[in-house]
Amino acid sequence: MTIGKYSFGMGDRFGHQGKAQLAVLQKAKEAGVTISPVWNKSYREHQIIYTTQDSVRQEADEAIQVLGWKDAYFVDADHVGLKNVDGFIQASDFFTLDVADFIGEKAVAAAIQSFVDSQKGLIGSLKIAGLDDPIDVTEELIKSAAEKYLFAVQKAGETYRYISGKKGNSDFVPEVSMDETDAPQTPVEMLFILAMIAMEKIPAQTIAPKFTGRFNKGVDYVGDVDQFAKEFEEDLAVIQFAVKQFGLPSNLKLSVHSGSDKFAIYNSIQKALKKYDAGVHVKTAGTTWLEELIGLAESGGDGLKIAKEVYASAFGRFDELCGPYATVIDIDLARLPDPAEVDCWDGPTYASTLRHDQSNANYNPHFRQLLHVGYKVASEMGERFLQALKDNEAVIAKHVTENLWERHIKRLFL
């Protein structure tokens, strides 16, 4: 099973928008660009709203069937490791092997030494097409990369082999992810990480590094755009080199765990992909859920009431809801509107405060981030919330499709 050049990861907390999401990639296909849909849901999300990966598989299969999608599609076990992968094995065919927590833990000395020995051929001034300067590779440089990353890559290997064993085959897409950590990996580190992945015999098709800058959930990139662009291009250059040098799968590509809505860097990504004729996997977060809230607010009546209740409750449960997402959100409490004030808003005011349109004076990224992590509240509403989604399906689906198409796919791929 191989993933195509372009793929797009989509989250759908409540599992009702699979068709509206797929419709976006159908539009892209009609416009001449084939992008594989990947439905992703993390262990964290499943835990918070008591769903299983089987429900994601069901949603994906149904969307594919109803819309008659003929190309490949995938169900991503998003951010898994040995301790939580079991519930994902049958339903998933894309596995994001998250080993960020193991970065910095040292592998045994013999393993580090044998890695250093295996890479001695690179010692010297290493020229990689696309990099401005050659890399001055020394034994110390290889060793320090091994001390920092080898243990983590070994963990990815262990998880990969565990999944293959349980599935009874290796017919799935493995991704190695190191994005959920504080320090970005440099392109030079990426080179050696790829060498380690090859040594562990993980046929990785995508790799998700931590890039420079903040990738908060549902809001724009915060950081140095030029620095990001340089790093992204260098990563592409290193991957092209590593595929040949280490014998990795020829379709190996970068995976950008964008957290959605990184408009500031979409242009850099698009330019770099063209320059290197490279593929990419862009994973978005569950912002489809925010389009559900926008649709409910705009429908007025009970929909608007639900949207307001979700905010009031999320506001009161700030610490509980934000806790699991502490490293990927930045909310200024002082910038959150008082729930009593929100209670007086009409639907369009609520919707324009939430919608990620930076040209609208109402847009409030703090309000947006809190609601992004506030899906637990809607989950607890149970049938009332799900029924509202069904009752307002048409208007919500329009927003889901429009958001992904106008703000993401068009800017990234067309």
| CA gap 290, 313 in Å, rounded | 16
CB nearer Zn ion, residue 179 or residue 235: 179
**Crossing angle of the two packed helices 139-167 and 187-199, in degrees rounded to 10:** 50
Least distance to Zn ion, CB of residue 42, Å: 8
Q: How many CA atoms lie within 13 A of 17 on its CB side?
A: 32
Interface stretch with Zn ion, choices 65-73, 142-150, 178-186, 293-301 (CB under 5 A): 178-186
Nearer to Zn ion, 345 or 375 (CB): 375
Q: How far is the CB of 98 from Zn ion (least distance, A)?
A: 7
Site string for Zn ion, 179-198 (x = CB under 5 A): x-------------------
- The nearest distance, CB 175 to Zn ion, in angstroms, is 10
Number of residues near Zn ion (by CB under 5 A): 2
Query: At how many degrees (to 10) do helices 53-67 and 18-30 cross?
Result: 50
Under rule CB under 5 A, which residues in 226-265 are in contact with Zn ion? 257
Nearer to Zn ion, 217 or 308 (CB): 217
Structure tokens at 261: 């809505």
Residue with the CB atom nearest Zn ion in the bound state: 257
Task: Closer to Zn ion by CB, 11 or 37: give it.
Answer: 11
Beta strand 253-257 pairing with 280-283 = parallel
In the complex with Zn ion, the residue whose CB is nearer, 179 or 233, is: 179
By three-state DSSP, how is residue 15 classified? coil
CB 19 within 8 A of CB 63: yes
* The dihedral sign for the CA sequence 345, 331, 314, 257: positive
User: How near is the Cβ of 182 to Zn ion at its closest, in Å?
Assistant: 13
State which residue, 206 or 403, has the beta carbon closest to Zn ion.
206
* Cβ distance to Zn ion smaller for residue 16 or 281: 281
Query: What is the residue-wise DSSP string for 203-268?
Result: --SEEEPPPSSB--TTS--BS-HHHHHHHHHHHHHHHHHHHHHHT--TT-EEEEE--S--HHHHHH
Pick the stretch among 176-184, 315-323, 338-346, 395-403 that binds Zn ion (CB under 5 A).
Answer: 176-184
**Among 378, 367, 366, 391, CA closest to 310:** 378
Least separation in angstroms between residue 339's CB and Zn ion is: 31
The residues, any chain, with a CB within 8 Å of residue 269's CB and separated by 6 or more, are 232, 256, 280, 282, 412
131 alpha-carbon distance from chain centroid: 26
Give the nearest distance from C-beta 137 to Zn ion in angstroms: 29
Provide the pairing of β-strand 124-126 with 135-137. Answer: antiparallel
Measured from the CB of residue 31, what is the shortest distance to Zn ion in angstroms?
A: 28
Tell me how far, at minimum, the Cβ of 44 lies from Zn ion, in Å: 11
Shortest CB 332 distance to Zn ion, Å: 24
* Closest to Zn ion by CB, 48 or 386: 48
For 179, left (φ over 0), alpha (ψ -120 to 50), or beta?
alpha
Cβ distance to Zn ion smaller for residue 53 or 245? 53
Cβ nearer to Zn ion, comparing 59 with 175: 175
CB of 313 to Zn ion, least distance (A): 27
* Contacting Zn ion within 69-98 (CB under 5 A): none
Output 179 or 200, the one with its CB closest to Zn ion: 179
**155 binding Zn ion? (CB under 5 A):** no
Show contacts with Zn ion in window 345-384 (CB under 5 A): none
Residue 7, strand partner residues:
36, 281
CB of 100 to Zn ion, least distance (A): 8
Sequence-separated (6 or more) residues with CB below 8 Å from residue 139: 116, 120, 123
Q: List, in order, residues 6 or more apart from 258 with CB less than 8 Å away.
A: 215, 282, 283, 284, 285
Cα–Cα distance measured from residue 183 to residue 177, given in angstroms and rounded to the nearest whole number: 14
Question: Using CB under 5 A as the criterion, which residues of the chain lie in contact with Zn ion when the complex forms?
Answer: 179, 257
